Amino acid sequence: MNHFFVCAIGVLTLVACSKESFAAAGNAAAASPALSSGVDMQFVDRAVRPQDDLYRYLNGKWLDTFQIPADKSAYGAFTFVDDQVQEQLKTIVDRLAQSTAGGDPDAQKITDLYASYMDEASLDALGAKPLQPEFATIDAVRNKKDIPALIAHLNRTGADAPYAFDVELDARDSTKYAVNISQSGLGLPDRDYYLNDDAKLKAVRAKYLAHIEKLLGMVGDKDALKDGAAILKLETDMARLQWTKVENRDPVKTYNKTATTALDALTPGYDWRKYIVDSGIGGKVDYVIINQPSYFAGLSKLVEATPLPVWKAYFKWRALSAAAPYLSKPFVDESFAFTGTALRGVPQNRPRWKRGLALIDASIGEALGKLYVAKYFPPQNKARMEALVHNLIEAYAKDIDSLDWMGPETKKGAHEKLSKIAQKIGYPDKWRDYSALKIERNDLLGNVLRAAAFEYQRNINKLGSPVDRGEWTTTPQTVNAFYNPEMNDIEFPAAILQPPFFNMKADDAANYGGIGAVIGHEISHGFDDQGSQFDADGNLHDWFTQEDHARFSAKIQALVAQYDAYEPVPGYHVNGELTLGENIADNSGLAIAYNAYKLSLAGKPSPRIDGLTGEQRFFLSWVQVWRGKVREPEAIRRIKADPHSPPNVRGSAVILNQAGFYSAFGVKQGDKMYVAPQKRVSIW
């Protein structure tokens, strides 16, 4: 996802919708007694009271007995739905391969790309040979003055490098595109993996060094041990210069508009002009956005201080690491042994067909998505989803007027922003054009590199062009949801609109507690600690009053402290600052979804299904969505690098702050889930 994209799963939002529309929805539900509860009760632990641990009550037997599949680092509702989607996609691709109709160039590219990935015999015969042109490009570097051009090449072909390039909307002027350049280049998930002396992180570091040495040896590097040590030291030096993930959450500090003519002053001795020409942006821009200026100032010194042979070894390593999953079996196995097993605790690689589908999704995903939508996303799903979004947005509008921390002037801005949120449901109105992408049936790595270059050039072509506000950031087959503050839009791909998130056969309570909370979550990102810094048009502009900033800050600091206390792995606490935006969205989204559900009842009592009131099923649906297990190494990786809290924390912590939960289950002082009203954090 791009720098300012916020991804969330399980959120909801509402704007002002009439009581009549809510009443209509409620009456429709009441008139359909055949609707199911939408809550899976088969894993209930009757030894646990809902008032003491609602998460354990609903999921206890599953948590005790479920074994994470050998090819996964974690398992939960998102994984469950994605597994179904993968089977659906496989059906589509298999039928394309068997079809003799022809005539569709995108379908041909899908089948050729998939065939190039699935032809293991040919790949095994080639070994590392497909990588030779990339190594030749690196070997051709004669001195450090050639490094900028080499980095431009790696940016274009998708290999990691000391800095990354992206084209996004200008955060200060959302009417045009701008180039963002940010720190990058580490092979481990976060700088802490290099700099922290924690025993588990040190062990991963040692395995990483062994991994570098082994892969280098496999491509004939006779100095693999020496080069591996030098590469690890170089990456460690880069890690010392890099900003933390918490620092990178600040959209103001990471917005540093720099004239292209002033770049040399930022990094003395580094030839930015060469990079600008070779990156393809020469003549297209006169400024770039530097996200971490101090990193780049330090990087120029590091380039000067590090011998050229070490840099060349490092660049070969980055190219090799990126290519390994697309080479012969020994390379694939070694790549997975580290990135899957050592880093995330996964014993077994995914079936090859699933990895092949993932490559299609990353390379020509909208073409596959168009076929997916036609077969698996009926129009009535989109219509009901649009109605849900409408209701939730209306509920948000109603809630703005009652907020105790937002004054009249800020409320005016909030209403304006809410009214301008664009809603993207299911799939794009205009499908991407892949005619310039060349796919060859017998050239897997070439296909991967060309697909990366195609996407790179597609972004370059945006510069100087009108902003395409209909563009999607993900494919319809993605099981997730997104908010983009610079576009001020929300995206709900078709694939997430399935149980347990969205169930056409379920009563409204479960859908409001599931996909409703997801909708609310995404909308609330427009008003969290990051999104609130962007105005209704997507510009980085402070529209809060000073007093409202102070009141909002007090609330979110209480939320930071609340989440800091959770310790999913002994010795590893949730980082309340890193996860703040997602935690705000979870709490706000669920609160608004609950309000929307209550409004939908139009003053009537909720229907009781399977002995449960609608209010109870609403909160159980939220808990059901976050039923999940995570392997310990993956849990640690997420704590260090993921802005989302762990699933068990998301399923439990949010509920403690919801007044509706206390009334739905009769929670009172003395119950384990009871939190005194003055200690609950209520933002929306």
3-state DSSP helix/strand/coil % of the chain, to nearest 5:
55, 10, 35
Identify the domain containing residue 186 by its residue range: 129-344
- 373 and 319 in a single domain? The answer is no
Q: Are residues 324 and 376 in the same domain?
A: no
Q: Do residues 331 and 367 both lie within one domain? A: no
Same domain? For 327 and 375 the reply is no
Indicate whether 223 and 325 sit together in one domain. Answer: yes
Q: What pLDDT is attached to residue 8? A: 42
Any idea what the CATH number is for the domain that residue 78 is in? 3.40.390.10
Cα distances (angstroms) measured from residue 672 to each of 52, 284, 422: 4, 60, 41
C-alpha–C-alpha distance, residues 446 and 307, integer Å: 31
For residue 595, give the 3-state DSSP assignment. helix
Torsion of CA 270, 271, 273, 275, to 10 degrees: -90
Domain-ending residue, one of 286, 309, 344: 344
472's tokens: 């999607």
Q: Do 339 and 360 share a domain, yes or no?
A: no
CATH number for the domain harbouring residue 258? 1.10.1380.10
- 48 and 141 in a single domain? The answer is no
Look-up of token digits 């209403």: 415
Q: Is residue 97 part of a domain?
A: no
264/199 same-domain check:
yes
Same domain, 44 and 137: no
Last residue of a domain, one of 320, 344, 368: 344
Which pLDDT belongs to residue 21? 31
Same domain, 320 and 400: no
Please provide residue 421's backbone torsions phi and psi, each rounded to the nearest 5 degrees.
-65, 120
Judgement on whether residues 339 and 361 belong to the same structural domain of the protein: no
Total number of domains in the chain: 2
pLDDT along the chain (684 residues), means of 10: 40 28 35 78 98 98 98 97 98 90 86 98 98 98 97 98 97 97 98 96 98 98 98 98 97 98 94 96 97 97 97 98 98 98 98 98 98 94 86 93 94 96 96 98 98 98 97 96 96 94 92 95 94 96 94 95 97 97 96 94 94 98 98 97 97 97 98 97 92
Q: Tell me, yes or no, whether 610 and 489 share the same domain.
A: yes
DSSP β-ladder status, 257-259 and 287-290? antiparallel
Q: Which of 493, 492, 508, 483 is nearest to 621 (CA)?
A: 508
The last residue of one of the domains, among 285, 311, 344, is: 344
Residue 450, domain member (yes or no) = no
* CA 124/CA 329 separation, integer angstroms: 6
Looking at residue 33, its pLDDT comes to: 53
Half-sphere exposure of 194 (CA within 13 A, CB side): 21
What is the pLDDT at residue 102? 63
- The answer as to whether 216 is a domain residue is yes
DSSP string, 247-311: GGG-TTTT--EEEGGGHHHHSTT--HHHHHHHHT-TTT-SEEEES-HHHHHHHHHHHHHS-HHHH
* pLDDT at 382 (0 to 100): 87
